[in-house]
Structures are given as C-alpha cells and as structure tokens.
C-alpha cells in the first residue's frame, strides 16, 4: 500500500528523466557537425533577462535563416550568474549569456566564457575606453561585447524638493544638509535610504569617489576594497544612518516601493535605467521626478560611477562561437539592432553612436527634455574599476556586513574592512597571486 505512491512518483521521475533526455538530444545533435562553423543551419541558445529580447531575436532570425537564436529568459542579478557558472561546470551552458560587468571576471576565471577577440575585435571603436576595459579585464583577450551601461545620476522628487525648499544638491555635504532639513520638517520623510542589499549601488558610489577595488599588477591581483575613497563613502552614509536622517530600508523591497509611492523618499542615486524601475514600482510619481548629476565630493568636480550594465559573452563550450560572435556583433553595433534594444529592451546601449541617437526622454520623465544629454554627460563622467575574479564573495560580504551595520547602526567602514578581508581570504584560499 505504502509503496504505491512512491512507485508512482518514481515512475514519474523516470519518465521526466527520459523526457528531458529526449528533448535535449535533438538540440545537441546538430552541434558537433557545426564545429567548422561554416555551412548548415545553427541554433544558438541565449540566456538573458533583458525584456523584449525574444522580439529582437525574431528580427535577426528572419534575416538569418542559417543562424537561429533561441532566447531563454532568465531572472537577473546574482542568481543568473550562479546559474550560468553551475551550467558551465555541469557541461551544458547556453551558447550566449548576458554577463553583468562585475560577474564577467568570475566567468573568465571559471573558464566558462571564450576569448572572442578574433571575431569581435573589430568592433572596438564602437565603445568607450572604459566599457571596453570591462570586457577585456585589462588583458589582451576580449571576453564579450558591451551591451548596456549604467552611469549613475541623482533622481529626485522635484515637487517635494520645492515643497521643502531645497535645491538639487551639488555636493554630498549639501546632500547631507538637505537630508537633515527634510527629516526635521517631517520625521516620516527621508531624503534617501542606504540599501544593504545592493552592493552594485555602493560600488558605483565608491567608483565616483575614485575607488579601485581590484587592479592587476603584472601577474598578481591587488585588492583594495577598503581603500580610502571607499571608506570615505561608507562613513558618510554610516554617519547619516546613525544620525537617523537617512533611512535604512533596502531598495527593491515592498517597503521601499511604498515609501517611493507615498512620497516619503525624495531621492535615489541610481543608474540611467532608473526610469524603468520607478515607473513600475512607483507609478504615482510620474512627471514628479527629475534628474540631476550625482552630488560631488569636491565642489566643481564632475565624477560619476557605474551601477550595473552588462555585456554578452560566448560560452567556452559553445561549438558555434563564430556564429555566436556574429549575432552579438549585430546585436550591439548594428543601428537597427541598437534601435530595437532601446525600444524593446529599454536599455541604455553601450555603443557610442546609439547613445548619441537617443532623443526622446522616457515617458516617466516626459518633463525632462534633457534626460539623455544628462545621461551622456554622466556616461563620460563615470569612472569604473576592474572587477576581480571573486565578486560574488565580495558582494555577499557586503550584504552580510552592511545588513548588520545598518540594523545596529555600527561603523560602515568596519563593514568595508569585512568585505576586504573576506575577498582576500577567498582569493588566498584559491591560490590567486596577490600583490603584497
């Protein structure tokens, strides 16, 4: 009696196993024949979370019957990177993968992505020096093509700034003053929040201050997550959180959405992709938000940083690297594809000529005619840094350490030191050569 449901379950498992076995075979079968990458139809799988990418692939497929791109929609973020690394280790990765800049070095270190310099090297002129460095990691190889970039700006509630009588802050000192003023006027309202769940945002702010978390020195890595600029940024926010004038609720949470919608959060230092998030999470704020350059550490400077942005890489295991490279070159440099990327995927393309061609401000910011000029200024002002081969460790350490620091209002620079220690310990354990 008891064994029956088990047997049924077991049968189901076997059936499922057979089914997947069968379904994966036809996909794999044509591959070996294509190693030569010349004739015959090829099918490429593409893992991405960019919205509307299936429509863009359809356009490509219609024009290129020999190379069919199959888009497989992924969840974004750190999970996507973990999934790809696992698939690569298991031996069945997709041919193409969307790779956030900070995760690309981990992919390279795991030998999961291919060097496609020979196939895409000619596209170099399409991208800025800074973005190109993100896909070469400062080496001679090229591990992907830049797709979008996320220069940071300051998004703020124009109507509420007027209400509380504050002007867009030019420096971080002014930002702190404004934070005190707003919170004093209404204790339920905050100028902003510090998110302990978004290491990417913190990395961007640290970049603006001139941080260099990783760098390559000959044959060894230099790790400086706890460098002076980063500590300065950390202590600035830590001080405001401790003072109680900056909130501590994480971004992208239901609480945060509600605070944005209710007008209890007045600014968001975020990347150029913010309009998409705001329109989805805070629909009530339409036409009430405006954009300004990030506040500066020293008056008169013009620096920014990057939050997010991704490239498209080719799997080291893909038997169709040449075809894959052809597709991503089209996707990220062809004017028609770039237009589709902007319209369908709502991204800020990495290619310079596409950035220049953007004119109509996002709907949510319809009142801000100079939205894209501001974005272009931020893009040239943004300074990035080389990401290391174990960003996952560093970012996880950020979340754990800053969760604690925000909850207990303890030192933020101590949290930064915890990130540095975790990063170095992990690299040392794996055997990476570290500069003294």
Partner 1 sequence: MTEPLTGAARAAGSGADTAPGPVPGPVPGPATGSPARPGRPPRPGRGDAARRGGAAPYLFLLPAVLLFTLFFAVPICYTAYLATRRIKVSGLGLGRGSRREVSAGLDNFATALADGELWAGWLRVLGYGALVLAAMLGLAVLFALLLDSATVRLARFSRIAIYLPYAVPGVAATLMWGFLYLPSLSPLRGLLDADLLGPGTVTFSMANIAVWGGVGFNMLVLYTALRAVPGELYEAARLDGGGEVRIALRIKLPLLMPAIILTTVFSIIATIQVFAEPTALRPLTNTIGSTWSPLMKVYRDAFVTGDLYSAAATSIVIAAISLVLSFGFLRVVRDRAFGEG
CA 408 to chain centre: 28
Query: What is the closest distance, in whole angstroms, from the C-beta atom of residue 392 to partner 1 in the complex?
Result: 5
> Residue 349 in 3-state DSSP?
strand
Residue for token pair 């002002």: 381
- Residue 296's CB is within 10 A of a number of other CB atoms, namely 21
Phi, psi of 171 (to 5 degrees): -125, 165
Query: What is the closest distance, in whole angstroms, from the C-beta atom of residue 255 to partner 1 in the complex?
Result: 5
281 is a contact residue toward partner 1 (CB under 8 A): no
Binding piece for partner 1, criterion CB under 8 A, among 36-44, 251-259, 305-313, 358-366: 251-259
105 is a contact residue toward partner 1 (CB under 8 A): yes
The structure tokens listed for 396 are 């996880």
CA–CA distance, 180 with 197 (Å, rounded to integer): 24
Binding piece for partner 1, criterion CB under 8 A, among 42-50, 91-99, 230-238, 396-404: 396-404
Phi, psi of 128 (to 5 degrees): -70, 160
Q: Which is nearer to partner 1, 24 or 220 (CB)?
A: 220
Site string for partner 1, 404-423 (x = CB under 8 A): x-xxx---------------
For residues 322-341, which are near partner 1 according to CB under 8 A?
A: none
14 is a contact residue toward partner 1 (CB under 8 A): yes
CA 365 to chain centre: 22
- Read off the DSSP letter of residue 202: H
Query: What is the closest distance, in whole angstroms, from the C-beta atom of residue 348 to partner 1 in the complex?
Result: 26
Beta pairing class for 289-292 and 67-73? unpaired
Contact indicator for 379, 305 with CB cutoff of 8 Å? no
199 is a contact residue toward partner 1 (CB under 8 A): no
266 is a contact residue toward partner 1 (CB under 8 A): no
Single out the residue of 139, 165, 280, 299 in contact with partner 1 (rule: CB under 8 A). Answer: 139
Q: Which is nearer to partner 1, 262 or 336 (CB)?
A: 262
CA–CA distance, 95 with 46 (Å, rounded to integer): 6
CA–CA distance, 117 with 128 (Å, rounded to integer): 17
What residues make contact with partner 1 under the rule CB under 8 A?
1, 7, 10, 13-14, 78-79, 82, 85-86, 89, 105-106, 108-111, 137, 139, 141, 196-197, 216, 219-221, 248, 250, 252-255, 258-259, 389-390, 392-393, 396, 399-400, 402-404, 406-408, 426, 430-433
């Amino acid at each position: 009696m008891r064994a029956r449901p088990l047997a049924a379950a077991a049968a189901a498992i076997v059936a499922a196993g057979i089914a997947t076995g069968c379904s994966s075979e036809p996909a794999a079968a044509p591959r070996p024949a294509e190693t030569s990458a010349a004739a015959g139809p090829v099918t490429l799988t593409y893992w991405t979370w960019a919205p509307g990418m299936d429509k863009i692939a359809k356009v490509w497929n219609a024009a290129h019957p020999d190379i069919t791109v199959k888009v497989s929609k992924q969840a974004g973020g750190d999970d996507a990177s973990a999934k790809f690394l696992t698939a690569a280790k298991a031996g069945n990765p997709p041919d193409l993968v969307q790779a956030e800049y900070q995760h690309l070095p981990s992919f390279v270190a795991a030998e999961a992505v291919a060097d496609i310099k020979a196939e895409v090297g000619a596209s170099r002129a399409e991208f800025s020096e800074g973005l190109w460095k993100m896909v070469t990691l400062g080496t001679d190889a090229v591990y992907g093509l830049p797709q979008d970039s996320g220069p940071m700006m300051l998004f703020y509630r124009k109507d509420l700034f007027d209400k509380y009588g504050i002007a867009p802050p030019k420096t971080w000192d002014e930002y702190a003053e404004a934070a005190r003023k707003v919170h004093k006027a209404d204790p339920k309202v905050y100028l902003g929040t510090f998110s302990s769940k978004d290491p990417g945002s913190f990395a961007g702010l640290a970049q603006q201050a001139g941080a260099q978390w990783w760098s390559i020195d000959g044959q060894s890595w230099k790790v400086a997550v706890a460098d002076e600029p980063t500590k300065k940024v950390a202590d600035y926010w830590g001080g405001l959180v401790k003072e109680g004038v900056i909130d501590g609720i994480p971004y992208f949470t239901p609480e945060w959405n509600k605070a944005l919608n209710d007008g209890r959060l007045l600014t968001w230092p975020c990347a150029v992709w913010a309009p998409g998030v705001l329109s989805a999470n805070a629909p009530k704020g339409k036409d009430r938000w405006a954009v300004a350059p990030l506040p500066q550490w020293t008056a008169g400077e013009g620096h920014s940083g990057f939050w997010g942005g991704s490239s498209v890489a080719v799997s080291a295991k893909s038997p169709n690297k040449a075809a894959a490279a052809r597709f991503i070159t089209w996707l990220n440099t062809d004017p028609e594809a770039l237009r589709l990327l902007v319209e369908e995927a709502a991204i800020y393309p990495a290619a310079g000529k596409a950035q220049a061609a953007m004119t109509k401000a996002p709907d949510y910011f319809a009142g801000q005619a100079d939205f894209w000029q501001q974005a272009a200024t931020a893009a040239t002002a943004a300074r990035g840094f080389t990401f290391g081969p174990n960003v996952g460790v560093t970012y996880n350490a950020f979340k754990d350490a800053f969760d604690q620091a925000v909850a207990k209002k303890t030192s933020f620079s101590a949290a930064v030191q915890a990130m540095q220690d975790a990063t170095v310990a992990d690299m040392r354990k794996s055997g990476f050569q570290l500069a003294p």
